Structure 1
Amino acid sequence: MLNSRMKIILRELMTAEAPISSNYLANLNQVSSRTARQDIKDLNGILSGSGALIESVMGKGYRLGINHDKLFRDFLKETLHDSDKGNQEIPRTPEERINYLIKRLLLSEGFLKLDDLAEELYISKSTIQNDIKEIRKKLARYKITLESRPNYGLKVKGNEVKLRFCMAEYIFDRNEPIIEPYLDSISQADIEEISQIIMRKIKVHQITLSDIAMNNLLIHIAIAYNRIESGYHVSLQQEDLKEITDQYEYEVAKEIVKEVEHHFQVNFPSTEIAYIAIHLLGTKIASQSDSVVEQVMDPEIMELVTIALEKVEEKLNLELKDDKELVFALCLHLKPAINRFRYDMNLRNPMLEDIKKNYPLAFEAGIIAGIAIEEHTSIKIDEGEVGYLAIHLGAAIERKKLTLGPKRCLIVCGSGMGTAKLIYYKLNAQFGQFLDIVGTTEYYTLSQYNFEDIDFIVSSIPISINIPVPVIEVNAILRNSDLLKIENRIMKNKQLVYSYLQKDLVFLQKNFTTKEAVLEFLNEELLKKDLVDDDLLEAVYEREKIAPTAFGNLVAVPHPITPKSARTFIAICTLEKPIQWGEKSVQFVGLLCVKKDSQEDLQNMYDRFGQIIDSSTVVEQLVKAGTYEEFMKVFRG
């Protein structure tokens, strides 16, 4: 059976584009390289006969070879998604321990003693007491408390609806398939039957549910059945119940429950039916036709979307507020979302970590939009909801990229095609995604060229004829001054990401052991150089409270919730060993400071951070770099 460290290693190897070193895997698991190598050896033994093999690449690390796809897929279904049922594996990291303990507390019928839990996890009493402090904070988000009774221990206490929401979040891991073997009294066949019942009824009644909404409803009905069997029932205020029973979705919920009752031979009280109706009310999606969209875009929702997008525009200058498709999408999303918020109903977001990791700019825009909505409605927007807002905003950002596209240029050279190709390859390597080189041509054919789709010409010889696009004259062997002229033409208001870095703000291989120590150090350095306001650190911590800025793959990009500097820059700190940052390990910290009232286009900077976050190889090279020159060589990409 795979232990937690092996799962992490296997997942890293499955997603890596290049071999991964044992040092990097050791840092992820917070163990020695020797232990990491032993884990890899043990994992290879388990993989033997399962269609895969971990290969050692001389001088580079390890990669996963899959020689029998079906065998390997079967292995993943049976092993990777197997839970820690029966306590067969012991949680190692603080995050794993806390999630394990929350599951234990939620599933326990009675009190649990701290001494017993500490013994179960092979940790000290003081360690588990610290974990309990963190658990109290996490449970408080669901308005759940821990009841403590001398000589008895701890027990969760809270409204049954909130307990159920919490169970859905922690018992069913958002990164795993939704069916987990925690609910012993319900089989896979039963789960499939519930799924079929839901799908039949929503099809008949033409209620459209997203895959995520469908999964949430399925999870909650399974939990409801399990809890009813244990004698627990949801309680709702009578006035809330009356309002829900008047809704069309309540009738659909009754039909779903009737079939579930028949299958399981169990009686769902009316409050349970109402609870399922809330799911249908809170997650239904209107038809995308313009006429329906106009109907659902009531003035209040429209005002909310306008306020949110104006705030995003003010802070990030993304030019999205006039994107009609985005406005429609947010209106359609927020109308049912307001209904969820009203009942304190969380919508699990299994894509949250992927969104944060792959679309950091969109996630930042989602946070800004969420804060604007909170201020206008006094409704608390949680991190999962921010993730859903970010999906819509990210789609708009990508649409805008497609509309704008890279600049298109034509190369003219009088020294022969060899030199023209040299210029071509140099420009391609230097500017990549920002420049589309449509081709090379000789001077004498230039007058016959169609310039309709050309933004400018790069020429190594003077051009005397009249042509309708700008000409940038360069040396046949490109110099830095030539590249700068081309960069200015391509980027206009944009800047290449490395222009935001300066040598005295890159601090390499420091030995800090906490997030706080890193942030305090960077803050002191920036204050010494008079680059930021005195309250920068406070604004950074305020942003961290909303959602930690550790995006995975050992990278964190902290920043103040509001601008605190007169110019835009990045202060970098890499660490000798990973530190804990919220629930993730971090070894690369990029403190981003955007200037007040900035009109800069920061998309390319976030894109570069996204590329870094996505590549374990790049992160490993960056944290290994011992000099600014070595670091920048990797960072420029």
Structure 2
Amino acid sequence: MRQRFVSAAPDRHGLHNLVVHTAIAIGRAQQGHTMTYTLRQTKHLEKAKEFDVATSIFEEIFRKTDIDVAAGEIYYLAQHLMASKKYIDGGEGADQKMQELVMKIIRDIDEHVNIDFSQDQVLIEWLSVHLQTAIPRMKFQMNIRNDVLEVVKSEYPLAFQIAVIASSVIEKEEKVSVNENEIGYIAIHFGAALNRIDIKNDMVIRRALIVCASGMGTALLIKTRLEAYFKDRIIIVGTVAGYTLTEEQIHSVDMILTTIPLPQFQSDRIIPIHHLLDNEELQQLEQRFYLMPHGIQGEITSFFRKDCFYTGRQFDDCQSILNFLTDELREKGLMTEAEKASVFEREQASPTEIGNLVAIPHPIYGDPPESRISILILDKPVLWEKERVQLVFLISIAKDQMASWQSIFLKLFTYLVKNDGVKEMLREPTYEAFIRNFTRQFNT
């Protein structure tokens, strides 16, 4: 995926874009259409050297072709030239600024979806390069078409979700609006990064903290045993003494492996180690943190519950639907008010309709106590954003189950869009029928 981004040489790409934008300006001039800019915008652009370059280009075009463009086209081309530059004035300062922004993005992603990209130098470098030109483009509100947007949204849902989180950081830090096409391009970088750290359909990565008394020898042995057994599926974030452990540290990882009692804390993430992680203890960890409960059937029924399956309802628009589904989860203690707001924020960033009468909304941020996917089958379709929707799946996933969510999402997408899932659900709108038919997809 990264090759798609870097395949063309930057100079050739930039020259091609310059020719395209110049041709667009000439075409507008010949058709009598004009670009308009405010007084404030024109004063800002006139101060830039790119304005002089754009003026020279159109003067030469007039001299050679006798085509005279409106003054607005000069501002338009100057705007494009400025957006094509490296961020600010280029050089090490720009590179450093972008890398700092990328690291903020990576920290935010780690906090919300429990995936750490901080050691991926390829991602840091190329996302920084991408943002150096993308952010000025956003500042000037220059639209860019993304021909692979729908593919990215449907085939790489986790990467797209991560890109939505990244875009919210960019909007906050840079005071710009990141549209859906730009989010799609950012998602390509994270899709490649996910492949590099080997998060596949059935891959789950857990974070562990080791707690010991004082000697580090025991902790080192436990760390070695964990890494040998789980390999790339576990990240040991550190080793601490019991008296220094904090609630914040407990909530930042999936498991606390301790050789000493910790009576001052009450958390199901604390796992006592009695036999220096012998094979039985390792297998217990495997069963608890990695294996699906009772096979795929257990995993599906842990996400999809009968008390979150709704039929026989009528709504006029997507706002009413989202309010209903999020309020239902809130009443069950499975969604906070902030997470509800995040569902609407996610919808505004990029509508979640996926075609074939289906929408799959979900929050940008959240870490509910239990993962849940609510299902609403409407009596009649409603207009979502651009398409009609009759089946709605509201996804609320705990961050330590993000990898499982990607697997479920891809199967759900295949079932609903590529197979006959929508017809089956509308023909037999019951929870039992859905579980039976959807589970069948995992055996194909």
Shorter-chain TM-score tier: 0.5 to 0.7
Aligned pair 1:266/2:63, yes or no? no
2:160 corresponds to 1:354:
no
1:633 is aligned to 436
Contact 1:509/1:624 (CA < 8 Å) preserved in 2? no
Does structure 1 conserve the Cα–Cα contact (< 8 Å) formed by 2:362 and 2:394?
yes
CA distance in 2, matches of 1:565, 1:539: 13
CA drift of 1:535 comes to: 5.9
Match of 1:604 among 390, 404, 414: 404
Cα separation, partners in 2 of 1:272 and 1:518, compared to 1, 3 Å: closer
The residue aligned with 1:222 is 24
Say if 1:262 and 1:552 are closer, same or farther in 2 by CA, change over 3 A: farther
The within-5 A match list for 1:504-515 is 504-508=307-311, 510-515=313-318
Task: For 2:83, give the aligned amino acid.
Answer: G
Query: Which of residues 585, 599, 604 in structure 1 aligns to 2:388?
Result: 585
1:398–1:509 Cα change, 3 Å: farther
Q: Select 1:244's aligned residue among 31, 39, 49.
A: 49
Q: 1:613 aligns with which of 413, 416, 428?
A: 413
1:209 match: secondary structure:
helix
Q: Which amino acid letter does the alignment assign opposite residue 209 of structure 1?
A: H
Question: Does structure 1 conserve the Cα–Cα contact (< 8 Å) formed by 2:339 and 2:363?
Answer: yes
Q: Which residue of 1 is the match for residue 208 of structure 2?
A: none
Question: How far apart are the structure 2 equivalents of 1:240 and 1:219?
Answer: 17
In the TM superposition, 1:266-305 aligns within 5 A as 266-268=67-69, 272-273=73-74, 275-283=76-84, 295=92, 298-305=95-102
Identity over aligned pairs, percent = 27
Higher-RCO chain (CA-CA 8 Å, sequence separation at least 6): 2
Distance 1:342 1:258, change over 3 A: same
Residue aligning to 2:11: 207
Residues 489, 357 of structure 1: alpha-carbon distance in 2 compared, 3 angstrom cutoff: closer
CA deviation vs aligned residue, 1:409-434 (integer Å, no higher than 9, x gap): xxxxxxxxxxxxxxxxxxxxxxxx66
Can you give the 5+ residue segments of structure 2 that lack an aligned partner in the other structure? 1-7, 205-227, 232-277
Give matches, 1:517-532, under 5 Å: 517-532=320-335
Contact 2:346 2:363 in 1 (8 A): yes
**Can you list the C-alpha shifts for 1:453-483, whole angstroms capped at 9, x where unaligned?**
9989xxxxxxxxxxxx979xxxxxxxxxxxx
Report deviation, 1:220.
6.7
Q: Distance in 2 between matches of 1:487 and 1:625?
A: 35
Paired residue secondary structure (2:378):
strand
Residue 334 (str. 1) matches residue 131 (str. 2)? yes
Count of residue correspondences: 351
Tell me, in whole angstroms, the C-alpha distance in 2 between the residues paired with 1:502 and 1:551: 23
Larger Cα-atom Rg: 1
Deviation readout 1:185-227 (Å, 9 max, x if unpaired) = xxxxxxxxxxxxxxxxx99xx72328xx957963673354224
Counterparts of 1:359 and 1:545 in 2: how far apart (Å)?
19
Deviates more, 1:527-536 or 1:574-583: 527-536
Instruction: Name which of structure 1's ranges 298-307 and 275-284 shifts more when overlaid on structure 2.
Output: 275-284
User: Cα distance 1:233–1:383, how it changes in 2: closer, same or farther (>3 A)?
Assistant: closer
Q: CA deviation at 1:307?
A: 0.7
CA distance in 2, matches of 1:342, 1:532: 34
| Alpha-carbon distance between aligned partners in 2 of 1:296 and 1:353, rounded to the nearest angstrom | 35
Structure 1 residue 332, shift from structure 2 partner: 0.3
Shift in Å, 1:510: 4.0
Taking structure 1 as the reference length, the TM-score comes to 0.47
Give the Cα–Cα distance (whole angstroms) in 1 for the partners of residues 154 and 126 of structure 2. Answer: 23
- Give the counterpart letter for 2:167 in structure 1: G
Q: Which residue is 1:374 aligned to?
A: 171
Distance 1:296 1:256 in 2: 32
Q: CA deviation at 1:279?
A: 2.5
- For normalisation by structure 2, the TM-score amounts to 0.65
Distance in 2 (alpha carbons) for counterparts of 1:505 and 1:558: 15
Deviations 1:129-181 (A, max 9, x none): xxxxxxxxxxxxxxxxxxxxxxxxxxxxxxxxxxxxxxxxxxxxxxxxxxxxx
What are the residue-to-residue correspondences of 1:188-203 with 2, within 5 Å?
A: none
Letter in structure 1 aligned against 2:302 = S
Q: Is the 8 A contact 1:622 1:635 kept in 2?
A: no
C-alpha contact 2:21 2:77 (8 A) present in aligned 1:
no
